[in-house]
């Protein structure tokens, strides 16, 4: 995965997995597969109601 340098000289992945609107089951599976493919940026939030499933996958 490519990273970009931020203004504070930290690097951030250019591509990430968004979990908005995914059911907990789909968020778990998608996160597992994304991590296997090399993703390191996973976007989740308590408001998405799948945060726990994403955490289990990580």
Q: Which residue numbers are catalytic? A: 48
The residues near 21 (Cβ < 8 Å, ≥ 6 apart) are 48
Look up residue 33 and give its two tokens. Answer: 């597969």
DSSP class of residue 5? E
Runs of H (alpha helix) within 1-58 = 24-36, 51-57
């Amino acid at each position: 995965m490519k990273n970009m340098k931020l203004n504070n000289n930290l690097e951030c992945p250019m591509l990430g997995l968004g979990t908005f609107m995914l059911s907990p089951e789909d968020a778990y599976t998608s996160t597992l597969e994304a991590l296997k493919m090399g993703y390191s940026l996973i976007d989740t939030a308590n408001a998405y109601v799948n945060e726990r499933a994403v955490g289990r996958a990580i």
